Amino acid sequence: MLEILTGLISGIVSGTGMGGGTILILILSVFMGVEQHTAQATNLVFFVPTSLTAIITTIKDKLINWGIGVPVAIAGIVGAIIGAKISINMDVNYLKRYFGIFLILISIYEIYSLIMQYKKEQKTNNKNKK
């Protein structure tokens, strides 16, 4: 049951484009006790069908910028090969540490973005009141 709930939550987050794999790796490694290398590899199996589903949906809604998407995808494939080779040969403790740092940096960025958006909205609201 936990596997189904984990997949459902990760799939919803993935479908929004916010990185469901990050949630999946976190749940697998922290709450389900799966070793980090295995959690990351499991994420790769999860990623393909969920990404294809999201791609098909966004193509139907004409939301993909192909001029940006294709070069980014090609570079991403090369980066994925490099990253997989690095990850396979990396000590699991370092891998966990780097993953944690990655999550912290994303969190800081998201909080900063929310603060900046709030300030921008406050400025706009103050201008409209005058």
Q: Are 63 and 17 in contact (CB under 8 A)?
A: no
One domain for residues 59 and 109: no
One domain for residues 57 and 8: yes
Residue range(s) defining the domain that contains residue 123: 100-130
pLDDT of residue 71: 94
Q: Determine what percent of the chain is predicted with pLDDT higher than 90.
A: 28
One domain for residues 7 and 61: yes
Q: Read off the tokens for 9.
A: 């939550």
Query: Is residue 11 included in any domain, yes or no?
Result: yes
pLDDT of residue 34: 92
- Give the model confidence (pLDDT) of 13-25 as tens digits: 776 667 777 888 8
One domain for residues 57 and 113: no
Higher-pLDDT residue of 18, 95: 95
Query: How many independent structural domains does the chain possess?
Result: 2
Q: What does the pLDDT average to over 51-60?
A: 88
One domain for residues 59 and 112: no
Enumerate helices (H) and strands (E) in the chain, giving the number of each.
5, 0
Q: 62: left (phi > 0), else alpha (psi -120 to 50), else beta?
A: left
Q: Are 29 and 15 in contact (CB under 8 A)?
A: no
Answer whether residue 67 shows pLDDT above 90.
yes
Query: Is residue 87 included in any domain, yes or no?
Result: no
pTM: 0.62
Query: Is residue 4 included in any domain, yes or no?
Result: yes
